């Protein structure tokens, strides 16, 4: 527990001070945000606000986690290294995207296919290592399981066959990891459109995963007094709790400067990194489908975009006149165009995130109670 508190506190403090330093330096260097021309007119005043603040978040997480491990004398686990790989790897993809926006003054950044290539390399690299037999601990558990899971594993083992079935199962499992990592990182990227929206929402969801990881650590299989039927076969839950606290703390420290009116934006550097590591938490805590509930806000944002694009194309094909379901997507812009103040939208979306997290944690705990 001491390492968890140290990690969160150090990351928060470093993020609070580091983000302020980033604002000063990025302003001097002219790393200002470009604003989409078809966005709400109220956002045009944000042009030139320093971006790439996700660098401060990522560094704060690394400092908080590493400092906590050094102060407690524990070595990081394979699970921690893999989650940090997701964080840093996807942050690098986002950094390139932000770099292009800033220096080429092109709001779209990387081309879609280029960004997808980068995301795919990170996601697949993570997946291959996470299920590799060389990553098994003394109990024979790899960082990621080869089954689907809601709160516990269910269904067939993807790597349970021989020969061709083994390779096909492995390819399908990697495809699932790819969908989760790229899909969640794109979802958080879409959500990052209003001051403080993604930073606070991410802090809430990662705090939930910190609680889940603490519980799984206390109820992990192999501990004395923990019954077999109620225990969790999760590798390194304590390290996930430590890292979850660091990410949550770093997001809160960043939020101090990112709250309306934002002095800095996290950019794709932060949004892609947070989404990818969130998917990593779901995979390694064996709660893949529970993420849909915990990250309900991100699901809502992504679903709205998919519905908007799908209906636009379908209506144009059927009637010749494209139509829209929402005034603008991502959906937070829809409410802005309805006349809601930006702060009102953000706070109400925070409430939605809190309700989703409360529901997810309630389901998680209720499942455990049902197994007693």
Chain position carrying tokens 């109820």: 219
Q: Closest by alpha carbon to 206, among 127, 153, 279, 122?
A: 279
What pLDDT, on the 0 to 100 scale, is given for residue 50?
87
Look up tokens 């996290």; give the residue.
Answer: 266
Measured distance CA(238)–CA(227) in Å, rounded: 19
The pLDDT tens digits of the residues spanning 271-324 come to 999 999 999 999 999 999 999 999 999 999 999 999 999 999 999 988 888 899
Q: Which residues are annotated as a binding site?
A: 189, 268
pLDDT attached to residue 223 = 77
Residue ranges for the binding site for Mg(2+)?
189, 268
For residue 149, give the H/E element and its range. Answer: strand 148-149
CB 122 within 8 A of CB 93: yes
> Which of 46-50, 122-126, 296-300, 339-343 has the least mean pLDDT?
46-50
The two structure tokens encoding residue 41: 């007119």
**35: pLDDT strictly greater than 60:** no
Q: Which residue has the tokens 């944002």?
A: 301
pLDDT, residue 139, reads 82
Beta-bridged to residue 148, according to DSSP, are 154
Given a contact cutoff of 8 angstroms between Cβ atoms, the answer to whether 260 and 344 are in contact is no
Residue 138 confidence (pLDDT) above 90: no
What predicted TM-score, i.e. pTM, was given to this entire model? 0.92
Residues 6+ apart with CB under 8 A from 108: 101
């Amino acid at each position: 527990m001491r390492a968890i508190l140290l990690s969160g506190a150090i990351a928060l403090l470093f993020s609070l001070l580091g983000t302020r330093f980033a604002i000063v330096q990025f302003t001097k260097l002219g790393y200002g945000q470009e604003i989409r021309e078809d966005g709400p007119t109220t956002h045009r005043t944000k042009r030139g606000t320093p971006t790439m603040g996700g660098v401060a978040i990522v560094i704060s997480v690394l400092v908080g986690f590493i400092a906590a491990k050094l102060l407690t004398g524990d070595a990081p686990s394979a699970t921690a290294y893999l989650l940090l790989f997701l964080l840093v790897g996807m942050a690098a993809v986002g950094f390139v995207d932000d770099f292009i926006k800033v220096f080429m003054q092109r709001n779209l950044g990387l081309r879609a296919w280029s960004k997808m290539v980068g995301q795919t390399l990170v996601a697949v690299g993570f997946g291959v290592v996470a299920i590799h037999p060389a990553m098994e601990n003394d109990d024979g558990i790899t960082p990621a399981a080869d089954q689907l899971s809601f709160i516990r594993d269910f269904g067939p083992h993807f790597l349970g066959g021989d020969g061709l079935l083994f390779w096909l199962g492995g390819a399908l499992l990697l495809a699932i990891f790819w969908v989760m990592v790229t899909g969640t990182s794109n979802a958080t990227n879409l959500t990052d459109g209003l001051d403080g929206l993604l930073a606070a929402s991410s802090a809430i969801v990662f705090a939930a995963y910190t609680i889940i990881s603490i519980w799984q650590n206390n109820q992990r299989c192999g501990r004395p007094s923990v019954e077999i039927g109620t225990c969790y076969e999760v590798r390194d839950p304590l390290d996930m709790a430590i890292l979850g606290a660091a990410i949550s703390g770093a997001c809160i420290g960043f939020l101090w400067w990112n709250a309306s009116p934002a002095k800095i934006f996290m950019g794709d550097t932060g949004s892609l990194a947070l989404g990818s590591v969130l998917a990593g938490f779901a995979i390694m805590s064996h709660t893949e489908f529970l993420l849909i509930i915990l990250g309900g806000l991100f699901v809502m944002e992504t679903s709205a975009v998919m519905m908007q694009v799908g209906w636009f194309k379908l209506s144009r094909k059927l009637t010749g006149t494209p139509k829209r379901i929402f005034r603008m997507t991502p959906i937070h812009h829809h409410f802005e165009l309805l006349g809601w103040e930006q702060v009102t939208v953000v706070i109400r979306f925070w409430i939605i995130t809190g309700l989703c997290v409360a529901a997810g944690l309630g389901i998680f705990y209720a499942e455990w109670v049902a197994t007693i």
